[in-house]
Amino acid sequence: MAPIEMFPNLIKRSFSFGKKVASNVFAPKIGLALSGGSAWGIAHIGVLKALEENQIPISYISGTSIGALIGGLYALGVPVSKLEELAHQTHWKDLCRFVIPNEGLLTNEPMESFIHKKIGYKTFEDLKIPFAAICTDLISGEEVVIQSGKVATAIRASTAIPGIFQPVVIEGRTLVDGGLVNNLPVTQLKKMGAHYTIAVHLFSDFNQWIPKTGPEIILKSFLIMQHKASSHEISQADLLIDINMKGFNPIDLNQSKKLIQKGYERGLAKRKEIKKIPKQHKSS
């Protein structure tokens, strides 16, 4: 009798074992968290460009405030080149307008219309990459994670800085900027299923920008609070891309080219760490 015919069961078990091992090893799902930071957040576009050039596939995105704006558009499939174009062409009048003071000096309702005009009326079902927008319930103080409904409305709520912009009501909840409770939503990525997390944190020593108006004072106070409250989420990230925004005014949209370049350079500076991102993940 031939050797193979003598041990048919052993051969079958060997093949089964091989299949089991193979099925337990797979490419890790990488999550990307983008922090808030007003106009500084334009730098996120440069980081996305650097990640693409290093062929890092993103499986999940979470974002707060401007991080939700950039992350949400990217998750909908807007390419980096288009994001760059939008950043260069966008002005504050496209994103907000003055209103009779009532819960805020401005409304960011034009932002929602601006997004619809550029990419259409998209919902979370249209996403190419799963995305979560972080907001704050102004009544309860709870963190609210939006993962359904209109993407533009979720972004608008996540960017509604209290005291500057009017709150946004979604499903009966009064929502404002997510930076109040979670400016760098790394933990959310793990809840979504990420095995490896990348966090992009925008910060500054703040000494370079002297606020001169009421809204600027509110914004600077908000940015200081966000930075101080981000330490826990930073500790949860597998890879931190921290960008020092010294010299950049957080309300100046005219510096978009320099901001994108700043993010791109900082992303490339992390090439060694990026190359260490595991190509395989073993399930438990």
DSSP character string of 172-209:
TEEEEEGGGT-SS-HHHHHHHT-SEEEEEEEE--STT-
Cα–Cα distance list, 85 to 1, 81, 90, 127 (Å): 73, 6, 9, 21
Closest CA to 51 of 257, 275, 280: 275
From 62, 65, 158, 230, active-site residue: 65
The first and second tokens of residue 90, run together, are 């966008």
Cα–Cα distance list, 97 to 57, 69, 252 (Å): 37, 18, 16
Cα–Cα distance list, 252 to 37, 112, 264, 283 (Å): 12, 20, 19, 46
Catalytic-residue membership of 81: no
Give the SS3 label for residue 45. Answer: helix
| Cα separation, 166 vs 160, whole angstroms | 7
Q: H helices within the chain, ranges in order?
A: 3-6, 8-23, 43-53, 66-75, 80-89, 92-95, 109-119, 151-158, 186-192, 214-228, 231-235, 256-268, 271-275
| Cα separation, 236 vs 258, whole angstroms | 29
Catalytic-residue membership of 137: no
From 177, 204, 230, 238, active-site residue: 177
| Cα separation, 25 vs 184, whole angstroms | 29
| Cα separation, 244 vs 29, whole angstroms | 28
Show which residues are catalytic: 65, 177
